[in-house]
Chains A and B, each alone.
Chain A
Amino acid sequence: MKRRVIGIVDYGAGNHNSVFSTLSSLDYRCHISHDVSALEKVDCLVLPGVGAFPRAMAGLKTFKLVDFLSDWALQGQPMLGICLGMQLLAERSHEDGLTPGLKIIPGEVLPLKDPRWHIGWNSLLRMHRDPLLEIDELSHFYFNHAYAFSEEKDFQVYQADCGKRFPAIIRRGSVVGLQFHPEKSQTAGRKLLKQIIDGLCHA
């Protein structure tokens, strides 16, 4: 069987080595690149991210990836955003001022405030059934963030609770966003990554 090819988008703000290592161990062929001509040939794009939203968007602009990623999603091609990569899918973020996002999933990114951070392992609360995103309710995933996606529940598949509830998994068609780090969530994260990528590529 042909191995699926994953394009890990490198825009200077990613923890792409960890994502590369985990996806490679799941038997995907992975390329880390900021080159559109390389990324447009893959089966699924993964948008990782660690750090601040404005700097990440600036990186995407530098490599002329903003329109490419928006068009990719508009054409219904598979894409997975992880942590900051999920937040970049939003219309805008309030982190360090107001910064426009990729505008792929309606909503905005707001500070958590109380508590100021959400760090550690948390379980997920299902908002609606999605065969692509069936998760054992005992599973825990690793979160590490101070800002969170905010939207009208149209695209939320799971929420997490850190004293306040926020979207943990969002999906709009072939685009999925995960606020946690599946690549650092041990067995549960690996299982979910495989499920999402195979599901999106097969759909």
Chain B
Amino acid sequence: MLKKRLIGVITVRDGLAVQSIGYKRYLPLGKPEYLAENLDRWGADEILVMSIDRTVRGLGPDLGLLKRLGKVGIRTPLIVAGGISSKDNAIEVVHSGADRICIDALLQDNPEEVRAIAECLGSQAVIASLPVSAGTASYMWWDYRSKALRHLATEVCALLEDGVVSEVLLVDWQHEGIHAGFDQRLIERFPIPNVPLIAFGGVSHHEQIEQLLNKESVSAVAIGNFLSYREHAIQHFKMQLQESHLRGAVFAGSDARV
């Protein structure tokens, strides 16, 4: 049967991997390719490389980073986010080694271009990133560029309802980097049914992962900062989640499974 996934996230700013806290504090971790190599070796189910400053700075996707990742020889499916503002960008990113792309600003700026990307690459290759908060009253989307909370735009909802994207990266931006911070109401209150969700932001504990994976709409859990605190973090999580929906822990260089 199809397994749910544990995704390792590498947040990149100014070309360096960083620990990101609440979308406002950034602590350097090192070269992204070294982190990717670790996640690959530890048997992550997918790796998401998210360059958070490319769109704001108008730089386009970081193809240089993809080239460096290619040299490392990553054998894990790669999702790339950051700087993708056109169909041509998306094609370049896939040709440079990405298996899937993740889009944030373009969802708001040009939904029609997102449809064009999905027609070209297939919707299975397209993920929508939505930084959101459940708030007291309603479900709000965080526009990180203008630093304002907004309601989810009708056009964005239409992209999800029409199956233009295959999954939503649901980012709890307020609790990003906070131990066990992910607000599970974000899953329960997600306004559009039948959209597979990837929970990200403040996921740090195996019991929390188990709770999220037990929800039918959650197809994957993504973890960033909390994979950086110990060696073989992916395998440790998976060994603690043996009865879960995940593929078992895999150890590089052998076919062994736990």
Contact = CB atoms under 8 A, between A and B. Distances in A.
A187 B120 contact: no
A183 B125 contact: no
A116 interface: yes
A50 B94 contact: yes
A181 interface: yes
B73 A21 contact: yes
Given A21-B70, A119-B166, A122-B1, A186 B76 contact: yes
Contact of A52 (B94, B95, B122, B253): B122
B45 A121 contact: yes
B77 A145 contact: no
Contact of A120 (B2, B75, B255, B257): B2
A28 B95 CA distance: 21
A66 interface: no
B125 A116 contact: no
Interface in A39-60: 50-52, 55
Nearest to A96: B119
A184 B77 contact: yes
Contact of B96 (A17, A145, A186): A17
Interface in B100-127: 100, 119-125
Interface residues of A, number: 44
Contacts of A144: 77, 99-100, 124-125
A120 B257 CA distance: 18
Interface stretch (A68-76, A97-105, A188-196): A188-196
B4 interface: yes
Contacts of B163: 116
Contacts of A117: 123-124, 166, 196
Given A96-B119, A187-B252, A187-B255, A120 B124 contact: no
Name the 4 nearest CB pairs between A and B, nearest first. Answer: A184-B77, A121-B247, A117-B124, A117-B166
30 contacts: A15-B95, A16-B95, A17-B70, A17-B96, A17-B97, A18-B99, A21-B70, A22-B75, A50-B94, A50-B99, A55-B120, A116-B163, A117-B196, A118-B124, A119-B166, A120-B4, A123-B1, A139-B255, A142-B77, A144-B77, A144-B124, A144-B125, A163-B2, A181-B99, A183-B75, A184-B75, A184-B78, A186-B43, A186-B75, A186-B252
